[in-house]
Each structure stands twice: as structure tokens, then as C-alpha cells.
Amino acid sequence: MGLFDSLAKNALGGMLGGQDPAAMLSGLLSEAGGLSGMMSKFQSAGFGEAFSSWVGTGANLPITPEQMQQAIGLDSLQALAAKVGMRDSTVLPLLAQFLPQVIDKLTPQGQIHEDHPSGSQIQSVLTSVISSSFGGLFGGGKA
């Protein structure tokens, strides 16, 4: 992991009250029943097309924080927010921004091949997503 990647990961960890973002995301996926379970939640909430776009190989459809809350459920959101010591209203925009990118990178062939990705897979994907997101703030450069 390069210096910029480490800084980006630490910045997100700091925003999340020092919690490991990969462990939190892994917990959220596990609670949902893996990627397929998460997809079912989004389909049930009426956002299956958005989730399918994240899995697929085309462009990712956006999702609003409010839609994210409807899809993952208030209980899951509150549990996640409590783990990081933040308000729901702070966690939701982060999920809406990063979850589509993470799902996209966990399904590079446009299909769910591994329903329960390992912690190291999630860590690797999350580091990549965070690095590219924060890299855009600084002209996309990596150290």
C-alpha cells in the first residue's frame, strides 16, 4: 500500500471514529446475508436497478442517502452508526458514496461470484476506492 493509500485509509478511519472501515463494511454485508442478501434488500426497497448497475460492468447508478437508508433499513443503519459513534445522518452520505464503488469492485466480471468476500478482499477494494476518491481531491496523484 502506498503512502497516499495509507493516508486515505487513515482519513476515512478518522472520520469513522477510528473504526476499521473494512470490518464495518464486512459486518454490514454479513448481516445482510452477503452480497446476494444485500442485493435482495435493495430489490425489496425498489432499488434493484441501482444495485444491479453496481454489480454489472456498465456505469454505476447513483443512490441518495435517503434511498440507502430505505434499502439497508433503519436498524442496520443505527447499529452501524452506533459502532462508529456517529449520527445516522453522517454515516448515510458515506455509504451512498462508497458502497456502490465497493460493490462494483467486488464484482469485476459483472456477477456475484463470491457472496461473502473475505476481510482482506474488502480491505483491498476499500483501499482502492478510498484512494481513488480522495485522489480526485488532490489531482489524482498517488505517492
Q: Is residue 80 part of a domain?
A: yes
Residue 34's domain spans which residues? 3-137
What pTM was computed for the model? 0.78
**Residue 92 maps to a domain:** yes
User: What are the backbone angles phi and psi of residue 54, rounded to the nearest 5°?
Assistant: -70, -35
- pLDDT of 13 over the 80 cut: no
Within-domain flag for 102:
yes
The torsion angle over the Cα atoms of residues 31, 72, 107 and 133, rounded to 10 degrees, is: -110
Is 81 part of a structural domain of the chain? yes
CATH number of the domain that 128 lies in?
A: 1.10.10.690
How many distinct structural domains can be found in the chain? 1
Our separate counts of H helices and E strands in the chain read 8, 0
Instruction: Answer whether residue 143 is part of any domain.
Output: no
Taking only the tens place, the pLDDT of each residue in 15-69 is 545 566 777 788 888 888 999 999 999 999 999 999 999 999 999 999 999 999 9
CA-CA distance, 82 to 110, in Å (whole number)? Answer: 33
Asked if the structure places residue 7 within a domain, the reply is yes
In a domain, 142, yes or no: no
In a domain, 118, yes or no: yes
CA angle, 123 then 89 then 78, to 5°: 70
Angle between helices 88-106 and 65-72 (to 10 degrees): 80
